Each structure stands twice: as C-alpha cells, then as structure tokens.
Amino acid sequence: MEWHLNDKVDECVYVLNEEIYSDSEKELAALIEDYPPLDYLSDGNTIVIRLFQCEIWNSQEQDRPTDDNGEYINPLINDIRAKVNKRTQLIGQIKL
C-alpha cells in the first residue's frame, strides 16, 4: 500500500470530523467530541473508513467515479463527504 494514501485518508478523516463538529449544535458537539463519527483502520494492505464504526469506504473496493484513463475524478475527501451525507440521510429515516 502506498503511504500517500494513508496520509490522504488521515487528512480526510480529520478534516471531515472537524467540519461535522464545528457545524454541530451543543448536544451533538458534546457527543462527537468524545466519539468522533469518522475513523479509519488499516491492516497494512487495506484501509477502511468508518462512520460510527460502519464501513463506508474500502481502499481495495473503491467505487469512486473515474475518467477514461482510470483516474479518480474527485478528490477522496469529496467522495467520502458524499458517502457520509448519503449514510446520514438514511439514518435520519429511522423513526421509533
């Protein structure tokens, strides 16, 4: 695995957690300050980004849009942001 991908994932998770925290109301901000919504794991071969401990992205099974040359169209952070938004919309549908 290339180290620069690890660095990109680390930065992506950090920046998105900061965005989520800074845009949160007081009660949510207090919760996610202790339990950041995004984290990532790596076994040395694969990196997994998780939202509240549920996998949303996997470096071995990337489903990101590519151009005709196979290059990713968007920066990783944009694709992860879209995945987070999609998951939070789904979670918002839960009613008890």
* Residue 96 in domain: no
* Percent over 90 (pLDDT), the chain: 65
- pLDDT at residue 1, rounded to an integer: 47
**Rounded mean pLDDT of 16-30?**
87
Structural domains of the chain, count: 1
Task: Give the domain extent around 21.
Answer: 3-91
**Rounded mean pLDDT of 56-83?**
93
The dihedral through the CA atoms of 62, 67, 70, 72 has a sign that is negative
* Residue 66 in domain: yes
Residue 3 has pLDDT above 80, yes or no: no
